Protein backbone atom coordinates (compact mmCIF):
# COMPACT_ATOMS: atom_id res chain seq x y z
CA UNK A 1 0.00 0.00 0.00
CA UNK A 2 1.39 3.40 -0.94
CA UNK A 3 1.81 6.01 1.74
CA UNK A 4 -0.11 9.23 1.13
CA UNK A 5 1.40 12.64 1.61
CA UNK A 6 -0.22 12.91 5.02
CA UNK A 7 1.19 9.50 6.00
CA UNK A 8 4.63 10.88 5.20
CA UNK A 9 3.90 14.04 7.19
CA UNK A 10 2.88 11.94 10.17
CA UNK A 11 6.01 9.88 9.90
CA UNK A 12 8.05 13.06 9.83
CA UNK A 13 6.42 14.22 13.09
CA UNK A 14 7.61 11.08 14.83
CA UNK A 15 11.21 11.27 13.57
CA UNK A 16 14.11 12.34 15.72
CA UNK A 17 16.64 13.74 13.29
CA UNK A 18 20.29 13.08 14.04
CA UNK A 19 22.68 15.73 12.76
CA UNK A 20 25.93 14.78 14.49
CA UNK A 21 29.05 13.22 13.08
CA UNK A 22 29.74 9.54 13.63
CA UNK A 23 33.26 8.65 14.74
CA UNK A 24 34.56 5.50 16.43
CA UNK A 25 31.13 3.97 16.78
CA UNK A 26 29.31 6.94 18.25
CA UNK A 27 27.58 10.16 17.39
CA UNK A 28 29.47 13.29 18.39
CA UNK A 29 29.31 17.04 17.83
CA UNK A 30 32.03 18.79 15.88
CA UNK A 31 34.97 19.58 18.16
CA UNK A 32 34.31 23.25 17.42
CA UNK A 33 30.61 22.73 18.32
CA UNK A 34 29.76 24.44 15.02
CA UNK A 35 26.60 23.46 13.22
CA UNK A 36 24.85 24.47 10.03
CA UNK A 37 21.13 24.50 9.29
CA UNK A 38 19.70 21.83 7.07
CA UNK A 39 16.54 23.18 5.40
CA UNK A 40 14.26 21.24 3.06
CA UNK A 41 13.97 22.42 -0.55
CA UNK A 42 10.59 20.64 -0.64
CA UNK A 43 8.84 23.39 1.32
CA UNK A 44 11.50 25.30 3.22
CA UNK A 45 10.99 23.51 6.52
CA UNK A 46 13.83 23.28 9.03
CA UNK A 47 15.19 19.74 9.30
CA UNK A 48 18.18 19.67 11.59
CA UNK A 49 21.24 21.45 12.92
CA UNK A 50 24.08 19.45 11.43
CA UNK A 51 27.60 19.19 12.81
CA UNK A 52 29.98 21.28 10.75
CA UNK A 53 33.14 19.25 11.10
CA UNK A 54 36.54 20.54 10.07
CA UNK A 55 40.22 19.63 10.06
CA UNK A 56 40.30 18.82 13.77
CA UNK A 57 37.49 16.27 13.42
CA UNK A 58 39.07 14.88 10.25
CA UNK A 59 42.29 14.28 12.19
CA UNK A 60 40.42 12.34 14.86
CA UNK A 61 38.44 10.32 12.33
CA UNK A 62 41.51 9.39 10.32
CA UNK A 63 43.34 8.33 13.45
CA UNK A 64 40.39 6.21 14.56
CA UNK A 65 40.03 4.68 11.10
CA UNK A 66 43.76 3.93 10.95
CA UNK A 67 43.72 2.30 14.34
CA UNK A 68 40.73 0.14 13.39
CA UNK A 69 42.45 -0.85 10.18
CA UNK A 70 45.71 -1.83 11.84
CA UNK A 71 43.97 -3.75 14.59
CA UNK A 72 42.70 -6.12 11.90
CA UNK A 73 39.26 -6.17 13.54
CA UNK A 74 37.74 -5.76 10.07
CA UNK A 75 40.58 -6.03 7.55
CA UNK A 76 41.62 -9.45 8.83
CA UNK A 77 38.15 -10.92 9.19
CA UNK A 78 37.50 -13.78 6.78
CA UNK A 79 35.83 -12.42 3.64
CA UNK A 80 32.84 -14.66 4.35
CA UNK A 81 32.46 -12.92 7.73
CA UNK A 82 32.59 -9.45 6.20
CA UNK A 83 30.04 -10.66 3.70
CA UNK A 84 27.68 -11.81 6.45
CA UNK A 85 27.91 -8.49 8.30
CA UNK A 86 27.51 -6.38 5.16
CA UNK A 87 24.44 -8.34 4.12
CA UNK A 88 22.97 -7.59 7.53
CA UNK A 89 23.77 -3.91 6.88
CA UNK A 90 21.89 -4.09 3.57
CA UNK A 91 18.96 -5.76 5.32
CA UNK A 92 18.86 -3.05 7.99
CA UNK A 93 18.77 -0.38 5.30
CA UNK A 94 15.77 -2.08 3.74
CA UNK A 95 14.15 -2.53 7.14
CA UNK A 96 14.41 1.28 7.53
CA UNK A 97 13.45 2.03 3.93
CA UNK A 98 10.61 4.42 4.70
CA UNK A 99 12.56 6.51 7.18
CA UNK A 100 15.58 6.72 4.88
CA UNK A 101 13.44 7.54 1.84
CA UNK A 102 11.72 10.32 3.76
CA UNK A 103 15.06 11.78 4.86
CA UNK A 104 16.46 11.59 1.34
CA UNK A 105 13.42 13.34 -0.13
CA UNK A 106 13.18 16.07 2.49
CA UNK A 107 16.90 16.72 2.42
CA UNK A 108 17.50 16.98 -1.33
CA UNK A 109 14.05 17.31 -2.86
CA UNK A 110 13.60 14.23 -5.04
CA UNK A 111 10.14 12.65 -5.33
CA UNK A 112 9.31 10.31 -2.46
CA UNK A 113 8.33 7.59 -4.96
CA UNK A 114 11.84 7.66 -6.39
CA UNK A 115 13.47 7.52 -2.98
CA UNK A 116 11.32 4.51 -2.14
CA UNK A 117 11.64 2.69 -5.46
CA UNK A 118 15.19 3.61 -6.43
CA UNK A 119 17.52 5.24 -3.92
CA UNK A 120 17.06 3.07 -0.87
CA UNK A 121 16.73 -0.32 -2.63
CA UNK A 122 19.68 0.48 -4.91
CA UNK A 123 21.82 1.34 -1.89
CA UNK A 124 20.97 -1.95 -0.21
CA UNK A 125 21.60 -3.75 -3.48
CA UNK A 126 25.04 -2.18 -3.94
CA UNK A 127 26.04 -3.36 -0.47
CA UNK A 128 24.65 -6.83 -1.03
CA UNK A 129 26.28 -7.19 -4.46
CA UNK A 130 29.74 -6.30 -3.20
CA UNK A 131 29.29 -8.41 -0.09
CA UNK A 132 28.29 -11.41 -2.20
CA UNK A 133 31.31 -10.90 -4.44
CA UNK A 134 34.00 -10.66 -1.80
CA UNK A 135 34.23 -14.34 -0.90
CA UNK A 136 34.27 -15.36 -4.56
CA UNK A 137 37.23 -13.40 -5.84
CA UNK A 138 40.50 -15.31 -6.10
CA UNK A 139 44.03 -13.96 -6.26
CA UNK A 140 46.56 -15.08 -8.89
CA UNK A 141 49.64 -17.23 -9.22
CA UNK A 142 52.17 -16.00 -11.79
CA UNK A 143 53.44 -18.27 -14.59
CA UNK A 144 56.95 -18.43 -13.12
CA UNK A 145 59.99 -20.61 -13.76
CA UNK A 146 59.92 -23.93 -11.86
CA UNK A 147 62.03 -22.71 -8.92
CA UNK A 148 59.91 -19.67 -8.19
CA UNK A 149 56.45 -19.08 -6.81
CA UNK A 150 54.95 -15.74 -7.74
CA UNK A 151 51.86 -14.73 -5.77
CA UNK A 152 49.78 -11.79 -6.93
CA UNK A 153 47.52 -10.72 -4.12
CA UNK A 154 45.18 -7.89 -3.40
CA UNK A 155 45.28 -6.15 -0.08
CA UNK A 156 42.93 -3.51 1.28
CA UNK A 157 44.40 -0.05 0.68
CA UNK A 158 43.89 1.12 4.29
CA UNK A 159 41.99 4.29 5.12
CA UNK A 160 39.56 5.36 2.41
CA UNK A 161 37.86 8.75 2.46
CA UNK A 162 34.92 9.45 0.16
CA UNK A 163 33.51 12.85 -0.74
CA UNK A 164 30.12 12.59 -2.39
CA UNK A 165 27.47 14.84 -3.98
CA UNK A 166 23.83 15.45 -3.13
CA UNK A 167 21.96 14.18 -6.19
CA UNK A 168 21.82 10.53 -5.13
CA UNK A 169 23.25 10.89 -1.64
CA UNK A 170 23.10 7.29 -0.48
CA UNK A 171 23.57 5.56 -3.83
CA UNK A 172 26.71 7.53 -4.69
CA UNK A 173 28.11 6.82 -1.23
CA UNK A 174 27.28 3.11 -1.44
CA UNK A 175 29.07 2.68 -4.78
CA UNK A 176 32.19 3.60 -2.80
CA UNK A 177 31.73 2.28 0.72
CA UNK A 178 30.31 -1.07 -0.39
CA UNK A 179 33.40 -2.26 -2.32
CA UNK A 180 35.78 -0.45 0.06
CA UNK A 181 34.29 -2.10 3.16
CA UNK A 182 33.92 -5.47 1.47
CA UNK A 183 37.64 -5.35 0.64
CA UNK A 184 38.51 -4.70 4.30
CA UNK A 185 39.26 -0.97 4.39
CA UNK A 186 38.32 1.56 7.03
CA UNK A 187 36.08 4.27 5.66
CA UNK A 188 35.31 7.95 6.23
CA UNK A 189 32.28 9.34 4.42
CA UNK A 190 31.97 13.09 3.81
CA UNK A 191 28.42 13.64 2.53
CA UNK A 192 27.44 16.81 0.73
CA UNK A 193 26.51 19.67 3.05
CA UNK A 194 23.28 19.77 1.01
CA UNK A 195 22.25 16.19 1.85
CA UNK A 196 23.94 14.84 4.98
CA UNK A 197 21.01 13.22 6.80
CA UNK A 198 20.87 9.70 5.36
CA UNK A 199 24.63 9.21 5.58
CA UNK A 200 24.46 10.16 9.26
CA UNK A 201 21.53 7.80 9.83
CA UNK A 202 23.06 4.72 8.22
CA UNK A 203 26.20 4.98 10.35
CA UNK A 204 24.15 3.64 13.24
CA UNK A 205 22.81 0.84 11.03
CA UNK A 206 26.37 -0.10 10.05
CA UNK A 207 27.27 -0.42 13.72
CA UNK A 208 24.08 -2.36 14.47
CA UNK A 209 24.92 -4.74 11.64
CA UNK A 210 28.23 -5.56 13.29
CA UNK A 211 30.70 -3.37 11.44
CA UNK A 212 33.28 -2.70 14.18
CA UNK A 213 33.57 0.80 15.58
CA UNK A 214 36.07 2.99 13.79
CA UNK A 215 35.57 1.19 10.48
CA UNK A 216 32.70 3.33 9.15
CA UNK A 217 32.76 7.02 10.06
CA UNK A 218 30.70 9.95 8.81
CA UNK A 219 31.90 13.57 8.81
CA UNK A 220 29.20 16.04 7.75
CA UNK A 221 30.40 19.50 6.82
CA UNK A 222 31.58 21.71 4.02
CA UNK A 223 33.91 20.92 1.16
CA UNK A 224 36.35 23.72 1.84
CA UNK A 225 36.71 22.70 5.50
CA UNK A 226 36.42 19.00 6.25
CA UNK A 227 36.49 17.89 2.59
CA UNK A 228 39.71 19.72 1.97
CA UNK A 229 41.21 18.44 5.23
CA UNK A 230 40.56 14.84 4.19
CA UNK A 231 41.97 15.46 0.72
CA UNK A 232 45.13 17.00 2.18
CA UNK A 233 45.52 14.46 4.97
CA UNK A 234 48.84 12.64 5.09
CA UNK A 235 47.31 9.43 6.38
CA UNK A 236 44.38 8.90 4.00
CA UNK A 237 45.37 6.23 1.48
CA UNK A 238 42.56 6.60 -1.02
CA UNK A 239 40.24 9.48 -1.83
CA UNK A 240 37.12 8.51 -3.77
CA UNK A 241 35.08 11.39 -5.13
CA UNK A 242 31.86 11.98 -6.97
CA UNK A 243 31.03 15.57 -7.81
CA UNK A 244 31.85 18.36 -10.18
CA UNK A 245 34.82 18.47 -12.52
CA UNK A 246 36.05 21.72 -10.95
CA UNK A 247 36.34 20.17 -7.48
CA UNK A 248 37.75 16.95 -8.94
CA UNK A 249 40.68 18.93 -10.35
CA UNK A 250 41.22 20.58 -6.99
CA UNK A 251 41.43 17.18 -5.30
CA UNK A 252 44.23 16.11 -7.64
CA UNK A 253 46.16 19.18 -6.52
CA UNK A 254 45.54 18.39 -2.83
CA UNK A 255 46.80 14.85 -3.35
CA UNK A 256 49.94 16.19 -5.02
CA UNK A 257 50.45 18.66 -2.20
CA UNK A 258 50.16 15.95 0.44
CA UNK A 259 50.82 12.21 0.33
CA UNK A 260 50.01 11.33 -3.29
CA UNK A 261 46.97 9.41 -2.09
CA UNK A 262 45.13 7.58 -4.84
CA UNK A 263 42.37 9.83 -6.16
CA UNK A 264 39.38 8.36 -7.97
CA UNK A 265 37.07 10.80 -9.65
CA UNK A 266 33.52 10.51 -10.90
CA UNK A 267 32.83 13.95 -12.24
CA UNK A 268 30.47 15.87 -14.48
CA UNK A 269 28.84 15.16 -17.82
CA UNK A 270 27.13 16.72 -20.83
CA UNK A 271 25.93 13.55 -22.41
CA UNK A 272 24.75 13.34 -26.02
CA UNK A 273 21.68 11.30 -26.90
CA UNK A 274 21.59 10.76 -30.67
CA UNK A 275 18.35 9.91 -32.46
CA UNK A 276 18.73 8.72 -36.05
CA UNK A 277 15.85 8.71 -38.52
CA UNK A 278 15.90 4.91 -38.51
CA UNK A 279 15.36 4.65 -34.74
CA UNK A 280 13.17 1.60 -34.08
CA UNK A 281 10.56 3.53 -32.12
CA UNK A 282 10.49 7.32 -32.13
CA UNK A 283 7.91 7.50 -29.36
CA UNK A 284 10.14 5.38 -27.10
CA UNK A 285 13.09 7.59 -28.03
CA UNK A 286 11.07 10.72 -27.15
CA UNK A 287 10.01 9.24 -23.81
CA UNK A 288 13.60 8.30 -22.98
CA UNK A 289 14.80 11.77 -23.97
CA UNK A 290 12.20 13.32 -21.65
CA UNK A 291 13.03 11.12 -18.69
CA UNK A 292 16.73 11.51 -19.50
CA UNK A 293 16.48 15.22 -18.71
CA UNK A 294 13.63 15.41 -16.19
CA UNK A 295 14.25 12.43 -13.93
CA UNK A 296 15.67 13.53 -10.57
CA UNK A 297 15.03 17.18 -11.61
CA UNK A 298 17.78 16.77 -14.20
CA UNK A 299 20.26 16.50 -11.33
CA UNK A 300 21.85 13.43 -12.87
CA UNK A 301 25.48 13.18 -13.94
CA UNK A 302 24.45 11.11 -16.99
CA UNK A 303 21.48 13.33 -17.93
CA UNK A 304 21.03 13.24 -21.69
CA UNK A 305 21.29 17.00 -21.82
CA UNK A 306 22.30 17.25 -25.49
CA UNK A 307 19.64 15.69 -27.69
CA UNK A 308 20.88 15.26 -31.27
CA UNK A 309 18.06 14.67 -33.75
CA UNK A 310 18.45 13.84 -37.45
CA UNK A 311 16.97 16.61 -39.58
CA UNK A 312 14.59 14.40 -41.61
CA UNK A 313 12.59 13.39 -38.48
CA UNK A 314 12.84 16.65 -36.58
CA UNK A 315 9.31 17.89 -37.25
CA UNK A 316 7.86 14.51 -36.39
CA UNK A 317 9.99 14.06 -33.28
CA UNK A 318 9.54 17.40 -31.53
CA UNK A 319 5.78 17.01 -30.85
CA UNK A 320 6.45 13.52 -29.46
CA UNK A 321 9.12 14.98 -27.18
CA UNK A 322 6.91 17.81 -25.94
CA UNK A 323 4.12 15.32 -25.32
CA UNK A 324 6.45 12.96 -23.46
CA UNK A 325 7.54 15.82 -21.20
CA UNK A 326 3.93 16.14 -19.99
CA UNK A 327 4.58 13.14 -17.75
CA UNK A 328 7.26 15.20 -15.96
CA UNK A 329 5.49 17.92 -13.99
CA UNK A 330 6.84 19.36 -10.76
CA UNK A 331 4.79 18.50 -7.71
CA UNK A 332 5.19 18.42 -3.93
CA UNK A 333 7.98 15.93 -3.38
CA UNK A 334 6.06 14.07 -0.64
CA UNK A 335 3.10 13.45 -2.93
CA UNK A 336 3.47 9.84 -4.16
CA UNK A 337 2.24 10.84 -7.65
CA UNK A 338 4.99 13.43 -8.12
CA UNK A 339 7.56 12.73 -10.85
CA UNK A 340 9.63 15.93 -10.59
CA UNK A 341 10.52 17.13 -7.12
CA UNK A 342 12.33 20.20 -5.80
CA UNK A 343 15.72 21.49 -6.90
CA UNK A 344 18.24 20.94 -4.12
CA UNK A 345 18.69 24.54 -2.94
CA UNK A 346 18.21 28.21 -3.77
CA UNK A 347 21.63 28.50 -5.35
CA UNK A 348 21.03 25.57 -7.68
CA UNK A 349 17.61 26.95 -8.61
CA UNK A 350 19.14 30.31 -9.49
CA UNK A 351 21.86 28.61 -11.51
CA UNK A 352 19.30 26.63 -13.54
CA UNK A 353 17.21 29.75 -14.19
CA UNK A 354 20.34 31.66 -15.18
CA UNK A 355 21.24 29.00 -17.78
CA UNK A 356 17.71 29.27 -19.14
CA UNK A 357 18.15 33.01 -19.67
CA UNK A 358 21.59 32.48 -21.21
CA UNK A 359 20.02 30.01 -23.65
CA UNK A 360 17.47 32.63 -24.70
CA UNK A 361 20.08 35.39 -24.95
CA UNK A 362 22.29 33.25 -27.19
CA UNK A 363 19.43 32.64 -29.61
CA UNK A 364 18.09 29.21 -28.69
CA UNK A 365 14.30 28.85 -28.73
CA UNK A 366 12.58 27.79 -25.52
CA UNK A 367 9.77 25.48 -26.70
CA UNK A 368 8.63 24.03 -23.35
CA UNK A 369 8.80 24.77 -19.62
CA UNK A 370 11.56 26.76 -18.02
CA UNK A 371 9.62 28.66 -15.36
CA UNK A 372 9.84 28.54 -11.63
CA UNK A 373 6.64 27.03 -10.26
CA UNK A 374 4.78 26.01 -7.09
CA UNK A 375 6.20 28.94 -5.17
CA UNK A 376 3.24 28.79 -2.76
CA UNK A 377 4.65 25.54 -1.34
CA UNK A 378 7.67 27.43 -0.06
CA UNK A 379 9.72 24.95 -2.08
CA UNK A 380 12.11 25.25 -5.02
CA UNK A 381 10.49 23.91 -8.18
CA UNK A 382 11.21 24.49 -11.85
CA UNK A 383 9.45 23.16 -14.95
CA UNK A 384 11.61 20.92 -17.18
CA UNK A 385 12.66 22.98 -20.21
CA UNK A 386 13.39 22.20 -23.86
CA UNK A 387 15.49 24.45 -26.07
CA UNK A 388 15.33 23.99 -29.84
CA UNK A 389 17.75 25.52 -32.32
CA UNK A 390 20.75 24.91 -30.11
CA UNK A 391 24.25 24.78 -31.58
CA UNK A 392 26.99 22.88 -29.83
CA UNK A 393 28.92 26.13 -29.36
CA UNK A 394 26.25 27.64 -27.10
CA UNK A 395 26.85 27.77 -23.37
CA UNK A 396 23.83 25.56 -22.65
CA UNK A 397 25.36 22.83 -24.85
CA UNK A 398 28.83 23.11 -23.34
CA UNK A 399 28.37 23.51 -19.60
CA UNK A 400 26.82 21.05 -17.21
CA UNK A 401 23.60 22.66 -15.97
CA UNK A 402 22.64 19.86 -13.57
CA UNK A 403 19.00 20.76 -13.91
CA UNK A 404 16.10 19.90 -16.24
CA UNK A 405 17.21 21.84 -19.30
CA UNK A 406 17.40 19.98 -22.60
CA UNK A 407 19.32 21.28 -25.64
CA UNK A 408 18.03 20.02 -28.98
CA UNK A 409 20.63 20.05 -31.76
CA UNK A 410 19.76 19.08 -35.34
CA UNK A 411 22.21 17.11 -37.52
CA UNK A 412 22.37 15.79 -41.10
CA UNK A 413 24.92 12.97 -41.20
CA UNK A 414 26.30 10.32 -38.85
CA UNK A 415 29.79 11.82 -39.15
CA UNK A 416 28.48 15.20 -38.11
CA UNK A 417 26.53 13.66 -35.22
CA UNK A 418 29.60 11.85 -33.94
CA UNK A 419 31.74 14.96 -34.16
CA UNK A 420 29.16 16.97 -32.19
CA UNK A 421 28.67 14.16 -29.67
CA UNK A 422 32.40 14.00 -28.93
CA UNK A 423 32.90 17.76 -28.96
CA UNK A 424 32.78 18.17 -25.19
CA UNK A 425 35.25 18.22 -22.33
CA UNK A 426 33.10 15.48 -20.77
CA UNK A 427 32.77 11.80 -21.66
CA UNK A 428 30.46 10.20 -19.14
CA UNK A 429 27.63 8.65 -21.14
CA UNK A 430 25.90 8.68 -24.52
CA UNK A 431 22.83 7.26 -26.22
CA UNK A 432 22.24 6.23 -29.81
CA UNK A 433 18.96 5.26 -31.45
CA UNK A 434 19.00 3.32 -34.75
CA UNK A 435 17.73 -0.02 -36.03
CA UNK A 436 20.82 -0.49 -38.17
CA UNK A 437 23.03 -2.93 -36.27
CA UNK A 438 26.24 -1.97 -37.99
CA UNK A 439 25.57 1.75 -37.56
CA UNK A 440 24.80 1.24 -33.87
CA UNK A 441 28.06 -0.60 -33.25
CA UNK A 442 30.17 1.77 -35.33
CA UNK A 443 28.68 4.78 -33.61
CA UNK A 444 29.02 3.24 -30.15
CA UNK A 445 32.70 2.55 -30.86
CA UNK A 446 33.26 6.11 -31.97
CA UNK A 447 31.71 7.66 -28.87
CA UNK A 448 34.24 8.78 -26.26
CA UNK A 449 32.15 7.92 -23.22
CA UNK A 450 32.25 5.47 -20.32
CA UNK A 451 28.69 4.24 -20.83
CA UNK A 452 26.87 3.92 -24.16
CA UNK A 453 23.19 3.05 -24.44
CA UNK A 454 21.70 1.75 -27.65
CA UNK A 455 17.96 2.16 -28.19
CA UNK A 456 17.51 3.08 -24.54
CA UNK A 457 18.83 5.75 -22.22
CA UNK A 458 20.31 5.24 -18.74
CA UNK A 459 20.29 1.45 -18.49
CA UNK A 460 22.57 -0.63 -16.31
CA UNK A 461 23.00 -2.26 -12.94
CA UNK A 462 25.76 -3.34 -10.56
CA UNK A 463 27.24 -5.79 -13.07
CA UNK A 464 28.86 -3.19 -15.35
CA UNK A 465 31.47 -0.55 -14.53
CA UNK A 466 30.40 3.09 -14.42
CA UNK A 467 32.58 6.14 -14.92
CA UNK A 468 33.94 8.62 -17.38
CA UNK A 469 36.35 9.34 -20.19
CA UNK A 470 38.05 12.74 -20.43
CA UNK A 471 37.11 15.27 -17.74
CA UNK A 472 34.27 13.07 -16.51
CA UNK A 473 36.78 11.27 -14.35
CA UNK A 474 38.93 8.21 -13.88
CA UNK A 475 38.45 4.78 -12.38
CA UNK A 476 35.11 3.03 -12.28
CA UNK A 477 32.37 2.50 -9.74
CA UNK A 478 30.28 -0.70 -9.74
CA UNK A 479 31.16 -4.18 -11.01
CA UNK A 480 34.27 -6.07 -9.88
CA UNK A 481 36.38 -3.28 -11.40
CA UNK A 482 35.45 -1.07 -8.42
CA UNK A 483 37.65 -3.22 -6.17
CA UNK A 484 40.68 -1.92 -8.10
CA UNK A 485 40.18 1.43 -6.40
CA UNK A 486 40.28 0.11 -2.88
CA UNK A 487 42.99 -2.55 -3.07
CA UNK A 488 46.72 -2.56 -3.68
CA UNK A 489 48.25 -5.31 -5.81
CA UNK A 490 51.20 -7.08 -4.26
CA UNK A 491 53.64 -9.39 -6.02
CA UNK A 492 55.37 -11.84 -3.67
CA UNK A 493 58.29 -13.88 -5.08
CA UNK A 494 59.19 -17.06 -3.25
CA UNK A 495 62.41 -18.89 -4.16
CA UNK A 496 61.75 -22.59 -4.03
P1 LIG B 1 30.50 19.51 -5.93
O2 LIG B 1 31.75 19.18 -6.67
O3 LIG B 1 30.15 20.90 -5.67
O4 LIG B 1 30.56 18.84 -4.49
C5 LIG B 1 30.80 17.46 -4.34
C6 LIG B 1 31.39 17.21 -2.96
O7 LIG B 1 32.66 17.83 -2.88
C8 LIG B 1 30.56 17.77 -1.81
O9 LIG B 1 30.55 16.85 -0.75
C10 LIG B 1 31.33 19.02 -1.43
O11 LIG B 1 31.17 19.39 -0.10
C12 LIG B 1 32.75 18.60 -1.69
N13 LIG B 1 33.70 19.70 -1.91
C14 LIG B 1 33.46 20.95 -2.41
N15 LIG B 1 34.58 21.68 -2.41
C16 LIG B 1 35.56 20.90 -1.92
C17 LIG B 1 36.95 21.09 -1.65
N18 LIG B 1 37.57 22.24 -1.92
N19 LIG B 1 37.65 20.06 -1.13
C20 LIG B 1 37.06 18.89 -0.86
N21 LIG B 1 35.76 18.65 -1.06
C22 LIG B 1 35.02 19.64 -1.59
O23 LIG B 1 29.35 18.73 -6.67
P24 LIG B 1 27.80 18.67 -6.29
O25 LIG B 1 27.17 19.97 -6.67
O26 LIG B 1 27.63 18.18 -4.92
O27 LIG B 1 27.29 17.53 -7.26
C28 LIG B 1 27.02 17.75 -8.60
C29 LIG B 1 28.15 17.25 -9.46
O30 LIG B 1 28.37 15.85 -9.22
C31 LIG B 1 27.85 17.35 -10.93
O32 LIG B 1 28.96 17.86 -11.61
C33 LIG B 1 27.60 15.90 -11.34
O34 LIG B 1 27.84 15.63 -12.69
C35 LIG B 1 28.53 15.18 -10.45
N36 LIG B 1 28.14 13.77 -10.35
C37 LIG B 1 28.90 12.84 -11.00
C38 LIG B 1 28.55 11.50 -10.95
C39 LIG B 1 29.38 10.46 -11.63
O40 LIG B 1 29.27 9.31 -11.26
N41 LIG B 1 30.21 10.79 -12.60
C42 LIG B 1 27.43 11.11 -10.22
C43 LIG B 1 26.67 12.08 -9.59
C44 LIG B 1 27.04 13.41 -9.65
MN1 LIG C 1 19.43 19.36 2.20
Is the minimum distance from the CB of 402 to ligand 1 under 6 angstroms? Answer: yes
Over residues 52-76, the pLDDT tens digits come to 999 999 999 999 999 999 999 999 9
Instruction: For residue 166, give the ligand 1 atom closest to its CA.
Output: 26
pLDDT the model gives residue 458: 87
Q: Is the pLDDT at 197 greater than 70, yes or no?
A: yes
Question: Using CA atoms, how far apart are residues 160 and 176, in angstroms rounded to an integer?
Answer: 9
Task: Give me the residue spans of the domains in the chain.
Answer: 5-267, 272-459
**Residue positions annotated with a catalytic role:** 266, 301
Pick the closest to residue 320 from 282, 368, 294 (CA basis).
282
Question: What residues does 150 pair with on adjacent strands?
Answer: 493
Residue 209 Cα to ligand 1 midpoint, Å, equals 29
The H or E element that residue 310 is part of is strand 306-310
Is the minimum distance from the CB of 345 to ligand 1 under 6 angstroms? Answer: no
Architecture of domain 272-459: 3-Layer(aba) Sandwich (3.40)
pTM of the model: 0.98
What does the pLDDT average to over 95-106? 98
pLDDT, the chain, mean: 98
Question: Using CA atoms, how far apart are residues 321 and 319, in angstroms rounded to an integer?
Answer: 5
Under a CB-based contact definition with an 8 Å cutoff, are residues 105 and 341 in contact? Answer: yes
What does the pLDDT average to over 113-142? 98
Question: Using CA atoms, how far apart are residues 278 and 100, in angstroms rounded to an integer?
Answer: 43
> DSSP alpha helices (H): ranges in 72-145?
79-95, 97-108, 112-114, 120-134
Q: Looking at domain 5-267, does it have CATH number 3.40.605.10? A: yes
Q: Is the pLDDT at 393 greater than 90, yes or no?
A: yes
Question: Using CA atoms, how far apart are residues 363 and 387, in angstroms rounded to an integer?
Answer: 10
pLDDT the model gives residue 2: 83
Residue 46 Cα to ligand 2 midpoint, Å, equals 10
Question: What residues does 477 pair with on adjacent strands?
Answer: 466
Q: How confident is the model at residue 459 (pLDDT cuts 50, 70, 90)?
A: confident
Residue 140 Cα to ligand 2 midpoint, Å, equals 45
Instruction: For residue 301, give the ligand 1 atom closest to its CA.
Output: 34
**Chain centroid offset of residue 391 CA:** 28
Ligand 1 mutation pick, 55, 198, 244, max ligand atoms within 8 A of CB: 244
Report the nearest-CA residue for atom 31 of ligand 1. Answer: 244
Q: Is the pLDDT at 380 greater than 80, yes or no?
A: yes
What does the pLDDT average to over 87-115? 98
> 145 by DSSP, 3-state: which?
coil
Residue 175 Cα to ligand 1 midpoint, Å, equals 15
Q: How confident is the model at residue 136 (pLDDT cuts 50, 70, 90)?
A: very high
pLDDT the model gives residue 67: 98
Q: Is the pLDDT at 138 greater than 90, yes or no?
A: yes
Residues 6+ apart with CB under 8 A from 141: 149, 150, 151, 152
Q: At what angle do helices 169-182 and 97-108 cross, to 10 degrees?
A: 130
Is the minimum distance from the CB of 48 to ligand 1 under 6 angstroms? Answer: no
pLDDT the model gives residue 1: 65
Is the minimum distance from the CB of 298 to ligand 1 under 6 angstroms? Answer: no
Q: How confident is the model at residue 111 (pLDDT cuts 50, 70, 90)?
A: very high
Report the nearest-CA residue for atom 16 of ligand 1. Answer: 223
Q: How confident is the model at residue 131 (pLDDT cuts 50, 70, 90)?
A: very high
Over residues 328-370, the pLDDT tens digits come to 999 999 999 999 999 999 999 999 999 999 999 999 999 999 9
Over residues 275-313, the pLDDT tens digits come to 999 999 999 999 999 999 999 999 999 999 999 999 999
Pick the closest to residue 134 from 82, 88, 70, 206 (CA basis).
82
Q: At what angle do helices 169-182 and 79-95 cross, to 10 degrees?
A: 160
Amino acid sequence: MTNTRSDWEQRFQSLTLEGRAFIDGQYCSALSRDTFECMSPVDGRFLAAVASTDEADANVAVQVARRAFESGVWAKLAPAERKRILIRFADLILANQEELALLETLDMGKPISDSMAIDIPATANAIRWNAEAIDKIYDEVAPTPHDQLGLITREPAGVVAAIVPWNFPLIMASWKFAPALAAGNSFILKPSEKSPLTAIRIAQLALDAGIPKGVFNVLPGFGHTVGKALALHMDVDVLAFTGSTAIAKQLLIYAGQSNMKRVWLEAGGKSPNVVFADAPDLRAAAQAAASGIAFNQGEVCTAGSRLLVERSIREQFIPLLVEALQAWKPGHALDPATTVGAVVDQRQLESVLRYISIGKEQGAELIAGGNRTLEDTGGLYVEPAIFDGVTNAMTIAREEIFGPVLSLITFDTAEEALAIANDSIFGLAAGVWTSNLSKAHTFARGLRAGSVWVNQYDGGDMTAPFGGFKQSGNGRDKSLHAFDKYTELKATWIKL
